[in-house]
Amino acid sequence: MTPDGSFNATGEDIAFASCGESCAGRLYRPATDATVPLIVMAHGFSGVKKQGLAEIAERFRAAGCAVLVFDFRHFGASDGAPRGQLFPLDMVEDFRCAIGWACHQPLVVPEGQPCVLPGAEAFAFFEADKDGAPTWRNAITVESLEKVREFDSVSLVPMLAPTALLVVAAERDSLVPLDAVRSAAARADDAAGRGGPPVARVSFPARPAVVFAQPSIGDIASWQPFVPSWPPSR
């Protein structure tokens, strides 16, 4: 802020991808090398970032926060045709991608080793097998976490009927408890009882990470209950 109370046009232009197109943004950084909170802002409806957001961003920046302002696709300096197309769910995707971009900036998160694996056992297994699977990376996008939270496969289990279903579970799975798998299988069985084939259930006394290690996976594949006769008895 200048002595007369007006705002300087500080900040740097950035761009991030959203659904294959480019969103234009501007990043405001506070004068510090420490990690700081970052606020993501965009206008409602058809507004663009040059309509008053710079002044608000400057106030937050002066208070020690980083700020990212951006234009939705089809508006302002962002890509997207036809111009002026206002789809609310597309705007939600733009916000998610803006947050994902922001979360990868060093001023928000210090550099370090990412970890997306559920537990030390799974981490140890996949890290030990990196040479055998060179295309594997211990990372997913931030946006992926949003999509995972939205995904509700269990509620759709009854829709599988009348398709045959084999449910395989690890009895000592710390991420997906066996009771949860049994409950989902029961819902499928209820639907199958209304005209579909029965559901075959198999559980093995192991943890998932152990299962995928050799020779365990070969032992399980040849384990008789893993290959039940069809149709299974109720």
User: pTM of whole model > 0.95?
Assistant: no
Q: How many residues does the chain have?
A: 234
> What is the rounded distance in angstroms from the CA atom of residue 10 to the CA atom of residue 110?
24
Say what the pLDDT of residue 90 is.
94
Say what the pLDDT of residue 150 is.
82
Parallel/antiparallel/unpaired status of strands 12-18 and 21-28: antiparallel
The share of the chain scoring above pLDDT 90, in percent, equals 29
How many other C-beta atoms are found inside a 10 Å radius of the C-beta of residue 82?
Answer: 6
pLDDT category at 230 given cuts 50, 70, 90 is very low
| Per-residue pLDDT tens over the stretch 74-102 | 999 999 999 999 999 899 899 989 988 99
Distance between alpha carbon 15 and the CA centroid of its chain, in Å?
A: 20
Q: Mean pLDDT, the chain, as a whole number?
A: 77
pLDDT category at 169 given cuts 50, 70, 90 is confident
Q: Which of 32-36, 120-124, 154-158 has the lowest mean pLDDT?
A: 120-124
Enumerate the domain spans of the chain: 12-103, 113-151, 156-234
> What is the rounded distance in angstroms from the CA atom of residue 173 to the CA atom of residue 181?
10
Note if the bond before 82 is cis, omega within 30 degrees.
yes
Domain 12-103 is in which class? alpha beta
